């Protein structure tokens, strides 16, 4: 459940979710892209993987890639795409959550302190549709952030990892938001509460699937690895994971997690505030009648 407003027909909720999702997506990229650029370079470029952490990567981008503009390298695909796939994501979730208002879907799942099956199912369906749209956009973004060009024929590269990553994040996000609304509804009465609830829920989801984020970015960036002194241009996922762990320990699978965490906190917190204000205005204007 992504808002507390009185619900209209499920189709209307889907349309409203699409409109407010655009605001969520544009806000997310506008405030979070610099952190995302640092994260991607740490994960998907040899020089950044071997050359230190978040601060070192920031300094390198600032001094050698145009300062502020370097931090927004590759921003156009996600700026255009984020509004699209997040609008579809929220449209699917809000429509299905509203439509599945029956005993079968609203009966709490045992052992979950009240979590309903429709939250999980609608969250997964929203994530699946989002991943289908997001995967080619992510590839174009990663290529742009790492100074590469992309071809139409490779736009599906990394989709399985994208689906796992997006499903893990979004199902966790919707379940946590729903739990907060049920157990601490006053959290959403204030702007700081909205910011904290969304930023923490999204970040917990990202932490759970972070290794898939690292591997996805390496696959989409066509990052080669060295095994026993020989360069492997198209390594398997197992080879990539072993290489990262062998080079950097288990931390290798969590490369870029700190700029990613900052990006998630800032972008998802600010985006939720904007979206909820829009949801409230829609109710005030009578568009749900």
Query: In the structure, what pLDDT confidence band is assigned to residue 50 with cuts at 50, 70 and 90?
Result: very low
In a domain, 227, yes or no: yes
pTM, two decimal places? 0.86
Q: What is the pLDDT of residues 133-182, one digit of tens each?
A: 999 988 988 888 788 898 889 889 999 999 999 999 999 999 999 999 99
Rounded CA separation 194/186 (Å) = 10
Most confident range (mean pLDDT) of 2-6, 61-65, 132-136, 222-226 is 132-136
In a domain, 1, yes or no: no
Cα distances (Å, whole numbers) of residue 241 to 164, 180, 204, 253: 16, 35, 22, 7
CA atoms within 13 Å, Cβ hemisphere of 215: 25
pLDDT at position 275 is 95
Query: In the structure, what pLDDT confidence band is assigned to residue 67 with cuts at 50, 70 and 90?
Result: confident
Classify residue 121 as exposed, middle or buried by CB count within 10 Å of its CB (0-12, 13-18, 19+): middle
- Across the chain, how many H-helices and E-strands are there? 11, 2
In a domain, 5, yes or no: no
Using the 8-state DSSP alphabet, how is residue 146 labeled? T
Helix, strand, coil fractions of the chain, as percent rounded to 5:
75, 5, 20
Cα distances (Å, whole numbers) of residue 254 to 28, 30, 135, 148, 202: 22, 24, 20, 23, 16
Closest to 239 (Cα-Cα) out of 255, 260, 220, 224 = 224
Rounded CA separation 40/258 (Å) = 12
CB atoms within 10 A of CB 192: 10
pLDDT at position 49 is 42
In a domain, 131, yes or no: yes
In a domain, 71, yes or no: yes
Q: What is the pLDDT of residues 173-185, one digit of tens each?
A: 999 999 999 999 9
Query: In the structure, what pLDDT confidence band is assigned to residue 47 with cuts at 50, 70 and 90?
Result: very low
Query: In the structure, what pLDDT confidence band is assigned to residue 48 with cuts at 50, 70 and 90?
Result: very low
In a domain, 123, yes or no: yes
Q: Residue range 175-196: average pLDDT?
A: 95
Q: What is the pLDDT of residues 259-272, one digit of tens each?
A: 889 889 999 999 99
pLDDT at 283 over 50: yes
pLDDT at position 44 is 67
Question: What share of the chain in percent tops pLDDT 70?
Answer: 97
Classify residue 278 as exposed, middle or buried by CB count within 10 Å of its CB (0-12, 13-18, 19+): middle
In a domain, 65, yes or no: yes
Residue-range definition of the domain harbouring residue 39: 10-284
| Residue given tokens 């990006």 in the structure block | 263
What does the mean pLDDT of the chain come to? 89
CATH number, domain with residue 249: 1.50.40.10
pLDDT at 106 over 80: yes
Contact in structure between 179 and 115 (CB atoms under 8 Å): yes
Rounded CA separation 135/162 (Å) = 6
Give the count of domains, the chain.
1
Contact in structure between 87 and 15 (CB atoms under 8 Å): no
Among 39-43, 138-142, 225-229, the range scoring the smallest mean pLDDT is 39-43
Query: In the structure, what pLDDT confidence band is assigned to residue 1 with cuts at 50, 70 and 90?
Result: low
Question: What share of the chain in percent tops pLDDT 90?
Answer: 58
pLDDT at position 252 is 87
Cα distances (Å, whole numbers) of residue 215 to 30, 111, 133: 25, 33, 19
Contact in structure between 150 and 143 (CB atoms under 8 Å): yes
């Amino acid at each position: 459940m992504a808002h507390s407003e009185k619900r209209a027909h499920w189709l209307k909720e889907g349309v409203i979710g699409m409109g407010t999702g655009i605001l969520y997506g544009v806000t997310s990229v506008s405030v979070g892209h610099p952190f995302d650029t640092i994260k991607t370079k740490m994960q998907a470029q040899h020089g950044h993987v071997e050359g230190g952490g978040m601060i070192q990567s920031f300094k390198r981008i600032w001094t050698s890639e145009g300062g502020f503009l370097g931090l927004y390298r590759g921003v156009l695909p996600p700026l255009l795409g984020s509004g699209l796939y997040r609008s579809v994501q929220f449209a699917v979730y809000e429509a299905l959550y509203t439509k599945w208002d029956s005993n079968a879907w609203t009966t709490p799942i045992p052992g979950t302190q009240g979590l309903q099956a429709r939250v999980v199912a609608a969250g997964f369906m929203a994530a699946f549709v989002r991943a289908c749209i997001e995967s080619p956009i992510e590839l174009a973004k990663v290529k742009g952030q790492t100074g590469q060009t992309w071809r139409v024929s490779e736009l599906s590269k990394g989709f399985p990892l994208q689906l796992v990553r997006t499903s893990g994040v979004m199902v966790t996000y919707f379940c946590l938001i729903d739990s907060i609304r049920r157990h601490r509804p006053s959290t959403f009465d204030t702007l700081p509460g909205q910011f904290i609830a969304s930023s923490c829920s999204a970040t917990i989801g990202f932490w759970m699937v972070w290794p898939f984020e690292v591997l996805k970015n390496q696959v989409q960036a066509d990052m080669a690895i060295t095994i026993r002194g020989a360069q492997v241009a198209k390594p398997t996922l197992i080879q990539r994971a072993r290489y990262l762990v062998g080079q950097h320990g288990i931390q290798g699978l969590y490369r870029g997690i700190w700029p990613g965490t900052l990006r998630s906190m800032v972008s998802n917190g600010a985006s939720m505030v904007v979206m909820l204000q829009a949801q409230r205005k829609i109710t005030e204007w009578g568009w749900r009648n």
